[in-house]
C-alpha cells in the first residue's frame, strides 16, 4: 500500500509559471486540466492574467529566465497578483524527464508548500535609473573597444602615439587623431597640437609620428574615430537622462532636497564619470544626509552604482548588514557536516554593485595609513590580495548599510582602536614572559623614566 507524506499548505491559491522565449506554461494545480500554455504577445499576457484571476489565484511564482519574465511580471502585478520571482537554481526539478509542463507543475507545488523565496527587486524609479546607468556602462565598454582599435591602426600606420602620450583619447591624442583623419601627414604639424599638460616635448612627439602612408589603415582609423565620437555623444545623452532621473527623485522629496554638502576637492574624478552631474551633492541628498563619499576608496562611480542598482528603499529591504553582504555574495558560505566545516568559500556569481565595491576595495589597498587600508594589509599579509579585496568589499558593504539604514556616521578611527588593542595585547604578553623567566630590568638594558 502506497503511503503519502503530507506537507502543510502555505499558499493555497498559488500558481507556477515556466517562462519561455516563445510561450509560457502556467499551472494552477497538479491535474492535467490545471495547465495551460500562453503566447508571449501582449494580448496573451493579459489573457494569462485574466485566466489566473478566474481560477482565484492570489500568488504566482516564476523563474527569472533571461529578460523574458519582465513583461509578464509587470502585467501580473498590474492585475493585482502577488508575484514572486525565483532564482532558477532553487526551482530545479528532480532527476528525470524535463518538460515545460513538469517544470510549471513543480514550481506550483514548491510555491504551494512555501519552499520558494523571492529575489530582490528594486522599486520602479531605481529600475529606470538602473537601465540608464547600465546602458551607459555598455557604451563605455564600446568606447574602450573602439579606443583599442584606434591604437591598433595607429601602430599599423607606424604612428606610435601610444608611446609618447599616456592616453590616446586625451586632449593631445584626440587632437592629433582628428588631424590625421583629416589628411595631415606632417609630423611637426601634428606635434604642434600637443597640449600644455603633456610631458613629452614636441620634438619627441614628432619622432613618433612618421607615418608609412597606408591608405587602407587610414580608412579604418577614420571609421573607428567617427564611431568613438558617436559613442561619446550617446554617453552625454545618457548623462542628461541620469541627471533628470536623479533630479526628479530628489526634488519631489522634501527630506532629500533640504540637504547640502560642500565639494570634496580631494576626491579624484575619473574621466569616465558623468561630467554634468555633481554626484557628491546628489548622493548626499539622495541618501538623505548620508555622506558615502566620506569613506576612503568610495568614488563617484561607486555611489552612482549603489543608487542605480539597489537604491535607498532597496537597502532598507535588507534587515541586517549580513543579509546585504550575503546578497552581494561577499560573505563566506559555510558548509558544515558532522560538526566539521567542509568549506567556507565566497559563493560564485557577481553583479555590478559587487564589482564596484571590489574596485573600491582594490583602490583602498593602494592607500597608505588609513583604517581600511590597514585592514586590507592585514588580510593581504595572511591570505593574499584576492582575499583582501573580498574581505574589504564586504566591510564596505556593512559600513554602507549601517550608514544608510541605521544612520550611523562613518568612524575612520576604528583602525587606530585596533592598533591600541594590539599594543595592549603585546604588553600583556611581555609581562607574562618577564614574570615567567624572572627577568630583571637591568638585564633588558632599558632605562626607566625618572632614573
Q: What's the pLDDT score for residue 449? A: 56
Q: Please check whether residue 2 lies inside any domain of the structure.
A: no
Pair type for strands 59-63 and 14-18 = parallel
Give residue 1's pLDDT.
56
Q: 284 and 207 in one domain?
A: no
Residue located via cell numbers 593581504: 380
289 and 395 housed in the same domain: yes
Q: Which of 249, 273, 295 is the last residue of a domain?
A: 249
Task: Please tell me whether residues 388 and 282 are part of one structural domain.
Answer: yes
Q: Are residues 69 and 159 in the same domain?
A: no
**Do 105 and 30 meet the contact criterion of CB atoms below 8 Å apart?**
yes
Q: What is the pLDDT of residue 444?
A: 74
- In angstroms, the Cα distances linking 203 to 147, 158, 175 are 25, 17, 17
Same domain for 291 and 345, yes or no, is yes
Domain boundary pick from 63, 87, 112: 112
The answer to whether 312 and 286 are in contact (CB under 8 A) is yes
Would you state the pLDDT for residue 333?
Answer: 81
CATH number for the domain harbouring residue 108: 3.30.420.10
| Sign (positive or negative) of CA dihedral 247, 253, 257, 263 | negative
In-domain check, residue 432: no
The verdict on residue 67 lying in a domain is yes
Q: Exposure of 360 by Cβ count < 10 A (0-12 exposed, 13-18 middle, 19+ buried)?
A: buried
Half-sphere exposure of 188 (CA within 13 A, CB side): 0
Number of folded domains that form the chain: 3
Same-domain pairing of 238 and 263? no
Co-location of 227 and 281 in the same domain? no
pLDDT of the chain, 451 residues: tens digit per residue: 566 656 788 888 899 999 999 999 999 988 888 999 999 999 999 999 999 999 999 999 998 888 899 999 999 999 999 999 988 777 777 666 678 888 898 999 999 988 888 888 888 899 999 999 999 999 999 999 999 999 999 999 999 999 999 889 999 999 999 999 999 999 999 999 998 888 888 899 999 999 898 999 999 999 999 999 999 999 999 999 999 999 999 999 888 888 888 888 777 788 888 888 899 999 999 999 999 999 999 999 999 999 999 999 999 999 999 999 999 999 888 777 777 877 778 878 788 999 999 999 999 999 988 889 989 999 999 999 999 999 999 999 999 999 999 998 887 755 455 566 677 888 888 888 888 888 877 777 766 554 4
Same domain? For 225 and 317 the reply is no
**Are 273 and 353 found together in one domain?**
yes
Q: Are 244 and 314 part of one and the same domain?
A: no
Is 443 among the domain residues?
no
Helix (H) or strand (E) holding 188: helix 187-191
Q: What is the CA angle 138-143-149, rounded to 5?
A: 130
Q: What is the pLDDT of residue 451?
A: 44
- List beta partners, residue 25: 18, 37
Mind giving me the DSSP string for 287-314? TTS--GGGSTT--HHHHHHHHHHTHHHH
In three-state secondary structure terms, 16 is: strand
Listed in sequence order, the DSSP H helices in 113-183 are 124-156, 161-164, 171-181
Residue pair 341/334 in contact (Cβ under 8 Å)? The answer is yes
Give the per-residue pLDDT at 10.
Answer: 85
Residue 418: the pLDDT is 53
Are residues 225 and 96 part of one domain? Answer: no
DSSP type of residue 186: -
Q: Give the domain CATH number at 197.
A: 1.10.287
Q: 104 and 132: one domain?
A: no
Q: How far apart are CA 230 and CA 217, in angstroms?
A: 20
- In sequence order, the β-bridge partners of residue 343 are 335
Burial 316-337 (b: 16+ CB within 10 A, else e): ebbeebeebbbbbbbbbeeeee
Number of neighbouring beta carbons within 10 Å of residue 177: 25
Predicted pLDDT at 72? 93
Closest listed residue to residue 45, CA positions, set 13, 10, 83: 83
Q: Look up the pTM and report it.
A: 0.83
* Residue 136: domain span: 125-249
Amino acid at each position: 500500500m502506497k503511503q503519502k507524506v503530507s506537507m502543510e499548505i502555505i499558499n493555497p491559491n498559488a500558481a507556477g509559471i515556466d517562462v519561455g522565449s516563445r510561450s509560457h506554461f502556467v499551472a494552477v494545480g497538479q491535474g492535467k486540466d490545471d495547465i495551460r500554455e500562453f503566447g508571449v504577445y501582449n494580448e496573451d499576457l493579459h489573457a494569462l492574467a485574466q485566466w489566473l484571476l478566474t481560477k482565484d489565484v492570489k500568488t504566482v511564482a516564476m523563474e527569472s529566465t533571461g529578460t523574458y519574465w519582465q513583461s509578464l511580471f509587470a502585467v501580473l502585478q498590474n492585475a493585482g497578483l502577488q508575484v514572486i520571482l525565483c532564482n532558477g537554481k532553487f526551482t530545479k526539478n528532480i532527476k528525470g524527464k524535463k518538460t515545460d509542463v513538469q517544470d510549471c507543475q513543480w514550481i506550483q507545488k514548491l510555491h504551494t508548500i512555501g519552499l520558494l523565496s523571492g529575489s530582490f527587486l528594486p522599486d520602479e524609479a531605481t529600475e529606470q535609473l538602473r537601465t540608464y546607468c547600465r546602458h551607459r556602462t555598455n557604451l563605455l565598454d564600446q568606447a574602450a573597444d573602439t579606443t583599442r582599435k584606434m591604437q591598433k591602426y595607429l601602430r599599423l600606420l607606424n604612428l606610435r602615439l601610444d608611446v609618447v602620450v599616456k592616453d590616446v583619447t586625451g586632449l593631445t591624442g584626440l587632437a592629433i587623431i582628428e588631424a590625421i583623419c583629416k589628411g595631415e601627414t606632417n609630423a611637426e604639424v601634428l606635434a604642434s597640437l600637443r597640449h600644455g599638460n603633456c610631458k613629452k616635448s614636441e620634438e619627441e612627439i614628432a619622432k613618433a609620428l612618421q607615418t608609412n602612408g597606408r591608405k587602407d589603415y587610414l580608412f579604418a582609423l577614420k571609421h573607428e574615430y567617427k564611431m568613438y565620437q558617436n559613442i561619446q555623444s550617446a554617453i552625454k545623452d545618457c548623462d542628461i537622462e541620469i541627471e533628470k532621473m536623479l533630479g526628479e527623485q530628489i526634488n519631489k522629496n522634501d527630506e532629500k532636497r533640504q540637504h547640502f554638502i560642500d565639494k570634496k576637492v580631494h576626491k579624484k574624478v575619473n574621466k569616465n564619470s558623468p561630467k554634468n552631474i555633481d554626484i557628491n551633492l546628489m548622493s548626499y541628498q539622495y541618501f538623505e544626509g548620508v555622506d558615502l563619499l566620506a569613506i576612503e576608496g568610495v568614488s563617484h562611480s561607486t555611489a552612482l552604482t549603489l543608487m542605480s542598482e539597489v537604491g535607498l528603499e532597496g537597502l532598507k529591504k535588507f534587515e541586517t548588514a549580513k543579509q546585504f553582504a550575503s546578497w552581494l555574495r561577499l560573505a563566506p558560505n559555510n558548509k558544515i557536516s558532522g560538526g566539521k566545516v567542509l568549506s567556507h568559500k565566497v559563493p560564485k556569481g557577481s553583479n555590478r554593485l559587487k564589482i564596484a565595491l571590489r574596485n573600491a576595495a582594490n583602490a583602498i589597498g593602494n592607500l597608505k595609513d588609513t583604517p581600511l587600508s590597514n585592514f586590507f594589509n592585514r588580510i593581504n599579509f595572511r591570505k593574499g590580495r584576492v582575499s583582501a579585496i573580498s574581505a574589504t568589499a564586504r566591510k564596505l558593504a556593512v559600513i554602507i548599510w549601517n550608514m544608510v539604514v541605521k544612520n550611523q556616521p562613518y568612524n575612520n578611527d576604528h583602525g587606530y582602536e585596533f592598533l591600541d588593542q594590539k599594543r595592549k595585547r603585546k604588553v600583556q604578553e611581555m609581562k607574562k614572559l618577564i614574570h615567567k623567566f624572572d627577568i630583571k630590568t637591568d638585564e633588558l638594558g632599558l632605562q626607566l623614566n625618572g632614573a
